[in-house]
Chain A
Amino acid sequence: MLSALRKKIGRDTLTFYLLIAPWIGMFIFLNVFPMGYGFYLSLTKFDGITPPRFIGIKNYLKLTADYRFINSIINTLKFTALNVMASLVVSFLIAVLLNRNLRGRGLLRSIFFLPYAIPVIATVFIWKTLLNRESGILNIFINFIMPKFSANFLVDLPVFSLISMFIWQSGGSMIIFLAGLQNIPKELIEAAQIDGAHEWYILRKITLPLMSPVILYQIVVGIMLSFGIIVQPILLTSSPGAAFTAFLNQQPPFQNFFTIIYAFQQCFTNQNFGYGMAIVWVMFITMVLITFLFMRVIRGLIYYEYD
């Protein structure tokens, strides 16, 4: 049978599909089926125990009037914009400063890159010890200038707390920017320098335009990563006291309450799977739309060497 098939569709095609078949199968099993089942559940009322009861699009209608959902979307978009901008500006500036002959450049690069490698549970508790009221080093430093000052930044400035942590971890984009900067032809910069161009002028007129594909790529990746941020706001900025509650029951402050957290808590804390799945699906469609929009935009800007 195989040899007949091989004659019909060609040897290469057959080998390719044989090699890729496990991927197709697993893609269907791990992505298509769960998402499809999730969509079915979003049309039902389901507590995870009694069988799901079909209710049509009621969950989606309920979403349009749910102020917690709408606020969570606004919060997510606000946070995404701020987070992507802040992380990219800082990592770009560091990359520009590092992109020259400096003694100790390798060591400096490693220092800026290191936080990127640290796993989420560690970064969250590192940041807690930096910013809280009792043991936070930021309070100690401010006390040098204002002795009476005392604040719990995690509660008073939750968005700042979260974004400062992601800036600390932005070493990955710094590395990508640095590689992008090194791909800029040296002759271009040298020619501009001979013409007497100022460093700031070179940055604006040569470096930034040539780096635009890299910057755009980083923006897209940053947006997608921001949509999936769930552990950090919950563990970092909720439970201000010393008393500890389970991860599922921790409530981040209003500003850090994102859509994915709402979906997660509807499913796992409130056992409200139907509603939770509706939230996941709305989020999912938003993400795919954004991806497609950006792919459209960048297609003309990125140069591929092969294929």
Chain B
Amino acid sequence: MSYNGMTASRWSSTIIYVVLAITAVLFLLPLFWFVLCSLKTQQEMVALPPVFFPKISQFRNYLEALTKIEYFRYLKNTLILSLMYTIPGLFSASIFGYAFARFHVKGKNFLFTIVLILLMIPPVSVMIPEYAFFARLGLVGSYSIWLLWGIGGNPLYIYLFRQFFSYFPPELEEAAILDGCSRLGVLFRIFVPLSKPIYVTVFLLSFLWVYGDFMGPVIFLSGQNTTLPVAMATGYVIRNGILLVSVLLAGIVIYIIPILIIFAFGQKYYIRGLLSSSGLKG
């Protein structure tokens, strides 16, 4: 019986290994194929029957990707926009999160319920009425929208800070308050120095959100003000509307390299963000 059990479990673990390995290859294949296609010529991209490997790797696609549109201008726009959203956002979300975590006053739960509801609503569905409202105020086309969004605090980041600050023992702030520290002083002198991981997590989440966002710039920005994703999706076209597919792919490869690097070194921050937003402890 036990002998049979042993072989059965060894067999099943081999099968699990094989299944996982095949799935992992399937998950990596799209990325591999994508890079391969970015090295093909325009003719090779539309050839029938399809070609697997490019005959000669077209590294000039990458050069063309950088020159066909003003790549670095749009990259700069994207980075500026990301920082304009992230830096004030980090500041205000941590203060709001702190208030929600460490105060027990009337009306707090009601306000926090609003945060939770906002958390559930997809941003796009608010952006459409926001456009009409901002157009009325003459804000459309300006980066200050991102600044306002940042100051308002993204509900997810408020929630993440609130979760993190909830875990500190009450004695910590009681002692500080006895020593004459103000409530805001508790946050900046005691909590912030102990909270580096959550600040890094929210910084990355927030920065990468704007870096990858497509609908925000499509709705609120236009022309040369727009960000890299939108510029790439519309810019790699020759006169008669033919899309330069492999050049576009090359542009996107350059665009996601920083993300892959951040992912390689900061995977634990992604995981932390996901797990504390779902209420699980890693």
A residues sitting closer than 8 Å to B (CB atoms) are: 10, 12-13, 15-17, 19-20, 22-24, 26-27, 29-31, 33-35, 37-38, 41, 48, 94, 97-98, 100, 102, 108, 110-122, 125-127, 129-130, 133-137, 139-140, 143, 150, 168, 172, 175-176, 179-180, 183, 199, 214, 217-218, 220-221, 224-225, 227-228, 230-231, 235, 242-247, 260, 263-264, 267-268, 273, 276-277, 280, 283-284, 287-288, 291, 302, 304, 306-307
Contacts and interface: CB of A to CB of B under 8 A. Distances in A.
A80 to B, nearest CB: 12
Given A179-B275, A242-B242, A267 B131 contact: yes
B204 to A, nearest CB: 10
Contacts of B118: 27, 31
Given A114-B263, A120-B214, A246-B234, A29 B148 contact: yes
A174 to B, nearest CB: 10
Contact of B133 (A33, A116, A283): A33
Contacts of B45: 134-135
Contact of A119 (B107, B212, B242, B275): B212
A13 B117 contact: no
Contact of B120 (A12, A27, A120, A291): A291
Given A119-B212, A179-B275, A291-B120, A41 B132 contact: yes
Contact of A277 (B129, B184, B233, B267): B129
A215 to B, nearest CB: 11
Interface string B205-241: 0001001111100110000000001101110010011
Contact of A19 (B30, B95, B126): B95
Interface of B: 12-13, 16-17, 19-20, 23-24, 27-31, 33-34, 37, 40, 44-50, 52, 92, 95-96, 98-100, 103-108, 111, 114, 117-118, 120-126, 128-136, 148-149, 151-153, 158, 166, 183-184, 208, 211-215, 218-219, 229-230, 232-234, 237, 240-243, 245, 248-249, 252, 255-256, 259-260, 262-263, 267, 270-271, 274-275, 278-282
Nearest to A279: B128
A264 B214 CA distance: 14
A207 B162 CA distance: 30
B99 A20 contact: yes
Contact of A276 (B99, B128, B260, B275): B128
A112 B27 contact: yes
B106 A13 contact: yes
B105 A12 contact: yes
Contacts of A112: 23-24, 27
Contact of B103 (A16, A108, A125): A16
A130 B29 CA distance: 9
A121 B249 CA distance: 10
A126 B30 contact: yes
Given A24-B111, A283-B125, A135 B37 contact: yes
Closest 5 CB pairs of A and B: A228-B122, A119-B212, A38-B129, A26-B152, A34-B133
Contacts of A111: 24, 27-28
Nearest to A182: B282
Nearest to A225: B122
Contacts of A118: 256, 259
A287 B99 contact: no
Nearest to B111: A20
B77 to A, nearest CB: 15
B228 to A, nearest CB: 8
A29 B152 CA distance: 9
A22 B92 contact: yes
A263 B214 contact: no
A92 to B, nearest CB: 13
Contacts of B108: 16
A119 B251 CA distance: 13
